[in-house]
Amino acid sequence: MIKKISQMLTDAANILFDDTQNDLRALPKTVRLQLLIVLSGVWSTAFSLWVFTNVFFVTGWVITLISHLLVIFAAYYTFKQFHNAKEFRIHSQYHTPTRSRQNLWIAGKKVELPKGDPGGEHE
């Protein structure tokens, strides 16, 4: 169940943010970013008209627009970090690259760690 939801969210993020999978892939990257920014402005305006009164419309619109832009950039940055993390994974049993194979290198010297030491600093 959790895997299905996780896969569904990953697929949705791929459609939105992966340059090779979404329908905007034929456009240059700068045009795609501009389009996302324009869409955030459109939805900010629609939301502001619905929620705020005339007196607070401009303030609400600016806050909503900035919020949408922050959400777009935060979601894109987060997705890219998770997407790029797969490339840097050494092995699922390694805790850190320096503790791989139960050795630690200090000042160019190999230091053997105790057998069964899981590594890390929070044991």
Mean pLDDT of 16-25: 73
Tell me which H or E stretch contains 103: strand 103-106
Q: What are phi and psi of 112, to 5 degrees?
A: -75, 135
Check residue 85 and give its pLDDT. 67
**Each residue's pLDDT tens digit, 60-81:** 788 888 888 888 888 888 887 7
Check residue 9 and give its pLDDT. 82
Check residue 80 and give its pLDDT. 78
Q: What are phi and psi of 111, to 5 degrees?
A: -115, 120
| Cα–Cα dist 20/37, whole Å | 20
Check residue 94 and give its pLDDT. 52
- Two structure tokens written together for 30: 């700068």
| Cα–Cα dist 17/13, whole Å | 6
Read off the pLDDT band of 39 (50, 70, 90): confident
CB atoms within 10 A of CB 113: 13
Does residue 97 surpass a pLDDT of 70?
Answer: no
Check residue 18 and give its pLDDT. 72
DSSP at 102:
G
Read off the pLDDT band of 90 (50, 70, 90): low
